[in-house]
Structure 1
Amino acid sequence: MHYELPIGAFIAALLVLVPLPWHWRARNVPTLSIIAWLFLSNIMLGVNSIIWADNIRIVARVWCDVATKFQVGATMALPACCLCLCIHLERIASVRQVRTTVEQKHRRMLFDLSMCWGLPIISMALHYVVQGHRFDIVEDFGCRPATYVSVAAICLVWVPQLIVVVLTLVFAGAALYHFFRRRLTFARHLQDSNSALTTSRYFRLMAMAIVQMVWATFITVINMWLTCRDGLRPWISWADVHSNFGRIAAFPRVFIPAEQWAWTYFIFWTLPLTAVMFFSFFAFGQDAVKEYRACFGAVRRIVHLPEKANPVQSFNSFAPRFPKAGRQSTAASDHAPATETDTVYSKAAADDFALTPRSTFSFGTSPPYDAHGAHDYDAHSMHKAASLSDAPPALKHDVNDMA
């Protein structure tokens, strides 16, 4: 059994969920749709590799009907989602629309939903035209969609995908062109457009769309070549193509040539690799770091881990500098003897913040002064001040306006 197949598929499915929270808060329909399509596709790949590990039993027929159609839709979904994303990025960079109203946001959301989900559903329906039988089962890989290899299959299955890919690259190029023309005012325009995008997020989305489209072009061309390299079959009629439609073809490992098996193995890993590429573009940004910190803080609270203390200073090292209003000084001069009532500050002054430095790591208390500028030193404060090498100098008599 190839244990790496289900393990890799399930890990890829979990990785695409990592950027989900901040894309959900941004209500970014294209990226949320990419996450949904990649997650479900990898889950189906993992389940297939478990059910049909080392066997070609014809089981779970309804599951295969759903899974094979979903595979057809997924090949169109990723280019369609990236196309919507690049259209939005090009609109922002072109400065054709400074601010977006609520109605415009709703229209854009409907357009994104129709492209990201409606277009793949249409491709599923068109696949039925060239579906020669129900589905195929390949040992270790599970059920695969069946296609009657003909000119009609090329026009209905692969050419639309390539058209969407080309349109995506065109809009991505236009967005980059507009950016380099207005690169000096681009950040200000993002602020004026009331958009949640920043310059770094903009380039991450743009880079992700371009890389995914180059990768999708490569996969589509390879898949079309592998399917059509043995020649095309003639399209005679609808009845001829769909005759014996309920047939299920099974392909054991021993009957598959080594080269064909290697390509099948490679095609399986294209979806997990696509999920890993998507994850790599959003897993190390500022949004991701904030989410990681929030998750760590939640886990720390659950397991009751103590918070890291500040080694430099704390609020306990602060002492009051000025007395509370209403306290009267009893000293007549700087060297007047202290009375018993003036040996310490009143407790009511304990919530004043100290501003005079007492050492390199804490703040001390400056002696209060009366309205005439005379300081009210007590014996305890004088003793502590004399013991410090960096004690503050005595205030002059003409500084009664510093308070």
Structure 2
Amino acid sequence: MSSFEYPAYSVLALIAAVLVVVPLPWHLQAWNSGTCLFMFWTSIGCLNYAVNAIVWHADALDRAPVWCDISSRIIVAVGVAVPAASLCINRRLYKIASVTAVTMTRAEKHRAVLVDLAIGLGIPIAQLVAEFIVSGHRYDIYEQVGCYPFIYNTPLTFPLVSVWPIIIGLCSAVYCVLSLRAFAIRRAQFQQYLAASSSLTIGRYFRLMAIASVELLCTTPIAAYGLYVNATSPIFPWVSFADTHFGYSRVDKYPAVIWKSSSTAIISFEFSRWSVVFCAFVFFMFFGFADEARRNYNKVLAPVVALARRVVPAKRSHPVYKYVLRSH
């Protein structure tokens, strides 16, 4: 069964996976670990969904078991990793807005990066472990969507899996409000900090706050909807780990005509797939056209242009090129 979204979704997701990592070099230079984590996880999520949409655009055959094992776990990790990266961004912006010293020592920068890594990598890893506890079987395959994790809906699912994106989003919202409040109170000292910083400008600061806020407005409602769907679906009693994992190697396959008969399934899949692509494009809109982005584009394109200028005259002096000119 074909879909009008194919290959549109796959192409857009692949473009988004590339565009979102374009600003990576200067964010690495600026020690923006939270932003780098956001770019990394968003790009991985877009790439993963794009590959799935390409491979399974017309069927639901279990043709790549190892890939599906990896892909379904990536989906679980990205579900909390993107909000966790946004939390890192909002946390850093709050630290900057409430800064008490104009400069940061190298040790303080190292400590901030380690904390961001603990949040942006530690939470997704912990979510993978928690998800495995309530994973009913290996994975599912949906035509036009691809590999997808299966989570057994028990009371234990809610504290282990369902609520964490919402909790992370609420923490980000608190940091966002505190950042605005601190900025309003300590505006003069904040501007002194930015003047002393070679890696952060007022424009980049508010672009970071904007992208974190957009992510918050996207993922938190989607996570709340997922929680609502789970809460209103049949909830099975938790018996034991062995009971939940009975027949764990099973792989269920769903043609599009079956899963698309459920409006809840359509909304859930499309929200989860398109939200990552949307975040990637919004991030590129904020940072891909900034002054530092254009400068880096020029750095990348300058050698290419110089090489082209050297190659073209060389081709014009080639005997074949001269013969073509004489023949015309």
TM-score of the aligned structures, taking structure 1 as reference length: 0.72
Of residues 126, 136, 139, the one that matches 2:140 is: 136
Check the 8 A contact 2:219/2:275 in 1, yes or no: no
Q: Tell me what 1:93 maps to.
A: 97
1:111 pairs, out of 77, 96, 115, with: 115
Equivalent residue for 1:265, pick from 262, 270, 274: 270
Q: Is the 8 A contact 2:134 2:152 kept in 1?
A: yes
Give secondary structure in 1 for the equivalent of 2:40.
Answer: helix
Q: Structure 1, residues 309-337: CA drift from partner, whole Å, max 9, x if none? A: xxxxxxxxxxxxxxxxxxxxxxxxxxxxx
**Could you list the per-position Cα deviations for residues 63-102 of structure 1 after superposition, in whole angstroms to 9, with x for gaps in the alignment?**
1111111111111111111112222211111123432111
Q: CA deviation at 1:292?
A: 2.7
Percent identical residues: 34
Q: Please tell me whether Structure 1 or Structure 2 has the larger radius of gyration of its CA atoms.
A: 1
Q: C-alpha displacement at 1:40, in angstroms?
A: 1.4
Q: What count of residue pairs does the alignment treat as equivalent? A: 304
Amino acid in the other structure paired with 1:251: Y
1:384-403 CA-partner distances (Å, limit 9, x unpaired):
xxxxxxxxxxxxxxxxxxxx
SS of 2:187 mapped into structure 1: coil
| 1:324-339 pair list within 5 angstroms | none
Match of 1:38 in 2: 42
Shift of 1:283: 1.5
Partner of residue 80, structure 2: 76
Structure 1 residue 227, shift from structure 2 partner: 4.0
Structure 1 residues 236-315: aligned runs within 5 Å: 236-256=239-259, 257=261, 259-260=263-264, 262-263=266-267, 264-304=269-309
Q: In the TM superposition, what is the alpha-carbon distance from 1:236 to its structure 2 partner?
A: 2.1
- Root-mean-square deviation (CA), in Å? 1.8
CA deviation after TM superposition for structure 1 residue 260, in Å: 4.0
Deviations 1:148-207 (A, max 9, x none): 112211111121221111111111111111111122443223234x46211111111111
1:216 corresponds to 2:219: yes
Contact 2:103 2:193 in 1 (8 A): no
Alignment-mate amino acid for residue 83 of structure 1: L
CA distance in 2: counterparts of 1:267 and 1:116, whole angstroms: 19
The correspondence of residues 217-232 of structure 1 with structure 2, limited to 5 A, is 217-232=220-235
Show CA shifts across 1:202-250 (max 9, x none). Answer: 1111111111112110221223334443332222222221111111111
SS where residue 151 of structure 1 aligns? coil
Tell me which amino acid in the other structure corresponds to 1:114. A
Larger helix proportion, structure 1 or 2?
A: 2
Deviations 1:80-126 (A, max 9, x none): 11112222211111123432111111111111111111111011111
Query: Are the structure 2 counterparts of residues 222 and 302 from structure 1 closer, same or farther at C-alpha, using a change threshold of 3 Å?
Result: farther
Preserved contact between residue 176 and residue 213 of structure 2 (Cα < 8 Å):
yes
Which residue type is aligned with residue 182 of structure 1? R
Q: Distance in 1 between matches of 2:107 and 2:273?
A: 42
Which of 106, 112, 127 in structure 2 is aligned with 1:123? 127
What's the secondary structure of 1:58's corresponding residue?
A: coil
Query: Do the aligned partners of residues 213 and 228 (structure 1) sit closer, same or farther apart at CA in structure 2, a change above 3 Å counting?
Result: same
State whether residues 187 and 198 of structure 1, in contact with CA within 8 Å, keep that contact through their aligned partners in structure 2: no
Q: Which stretches in structure 1 are left out of the alignment for 5+ residues?
A: 306-403
Q: CA deviation at 1:53?
A: 1.8
